[in-house]
């Protein structure tokens, strides 16, 4: 059994052959979390999860890049997120890669409002964070996450009181130092397809202890080698697990078992 902790099977890229993709996933015994990126998309993720109870779960959130021109109506998101199939809030966070500088404050504001949901609903946080230069987006994110009980954004938000360690950093693309900061906060680190072909991940994969690692595809995006450039799908999560086993010099089965166990613990799942 493998656990793909971050995928988007509800996306239109799967409209043509979703059943086929799902039947491959079921026969390979892969469990997944379908991650919502805005309100409508989160609804679709929940609908899909409800069809495959025990095999699929969902998250509710507004992605920083999808937040452009969208209102964040917290009451609508909250109502959705109360659903039993919803195991985390996100993906949400900061994406400076394609973002003009004057958009940063708006991203921070929408992220903070989703942190309120994390606190109110006591569900874990699924972070999307993509830097432009060095670790810039990660640094701003830590400033927000570590502001427990202090005012952030000019006093607009106080007393976030997030539970320590209740979250994961999806598609981790930061430095070893950034990984350490997440680990110090008690967060999990999730690795995706690029670790199979980009050598610069080796050091950080080696560094993060196996009991703090999640694996993911982020399908339909970022397929791992040997499927690079094609549409990604949850069965390819195996290649991420195999690369971690190779880098850490442990058995593939151990990586599969431990990463599924980590997901079970973080997202409070029954399987």
The annotation status of 102 as a binding-site residue, yes or no, is no
CB of 24 to Zn ion, least distance (A): 20
**Window 222 to 261, contacts with Zn ion (CB under 5 A):** none
Site string for Zn ion, 24-53 (x = CB under 5 A): ------------------------------
- Between 59 and 178, whose beta carbon lies closer to Zn ion? 59
- Between 207 and 221, whose beta carbon lies closer to Zn ion? 221
Site string for Zn ion, 186-225 (x = CB under 5 A): --------------------------------x-------
The annotation status of 170 as a binding-site residue, yes or no, is yes
CB of 37 to Zn ion, least distance (A): 7
CB of 8 to Zn ion, least distance (A): 6
CB of 218 to Zn ion, least distance (A): 5
Long-range contacts for 265-270 (Cβ within 8 Å, ≥24 apart)? 266/124, 266/166, 266/167, 266/168, 266/188, 266/214, 267/5, 267/33, 267/57, 267/87, 267/88, 267/124, 268/87, 268/124, 269/57, 269/87, 270/54
CB of 15 to Zn ion, least distance (A): 17
The annotation status of 63 as a binding-site residue, yes or no, is no
Name the residue with the smallest CB distance to Zn ion. Answer: 218
Binding residues: 6, 8, 91, 128, 170, 218
Positions in the binding site for Zn ion (CB under 5 A) = 218
Binding residues for a divalent metal cation: 6, 8, 91, 128, 170, 218
């Amino acid at each position: 059994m493998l656990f793909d902790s971050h995928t988007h099977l509800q996306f239109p890229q799967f409209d043509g052959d979703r059943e086929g993709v799902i039947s491959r996933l079921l026969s390979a015994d892969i469990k997944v979390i379908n991650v919502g990126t805005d309100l409508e998309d989160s609804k679709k993720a929940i609908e899909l999860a409800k069809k495959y109870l025990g095999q699929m779960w969902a998250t509710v959130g507004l992605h920083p890049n999808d937040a452009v021109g969208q209102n964040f109506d917290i009451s609508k998101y909250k109502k959705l997120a109360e659903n039993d199939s919803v195991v985390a809030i996100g993906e949400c966070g900061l994406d400076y890669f394609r973002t003009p500088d004057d958009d940063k404050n708006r991203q921070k504001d929408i992220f903070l409002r989703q942190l309120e949901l994390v606190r109110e609903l006591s569900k874990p946080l699924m972070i999307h964070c993509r830097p432009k230069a060095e670790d810039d987006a990660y640094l701003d994110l830590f400033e927000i996450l570590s502001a427990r009980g202090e005012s952030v954004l000019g006093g607009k938000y106080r007393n976030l009181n997030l539970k320590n360690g209740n979250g994961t950093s999806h598609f981790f693309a930061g430095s070893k130092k950034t990984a350490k900061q997440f680990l110090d906060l008690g967060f999990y680190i999730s690795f995706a397809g690029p670790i199979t072909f980009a050598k610069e991940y080796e050091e950080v994969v080696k560094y993060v202890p196996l009991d703090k690692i999640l694996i993911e595809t982020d399908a339909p995006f970022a397929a791992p080698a040997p499927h690079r450039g094609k549409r990604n799908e949850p069965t390819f999560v195996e290649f991420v697990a195999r690369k971690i086993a190779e880098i850490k010099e442990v058995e593939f089965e151990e990586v599969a078992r431990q990463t599924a166990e980590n997901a079970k613990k973080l997202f409070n799942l029954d399987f």
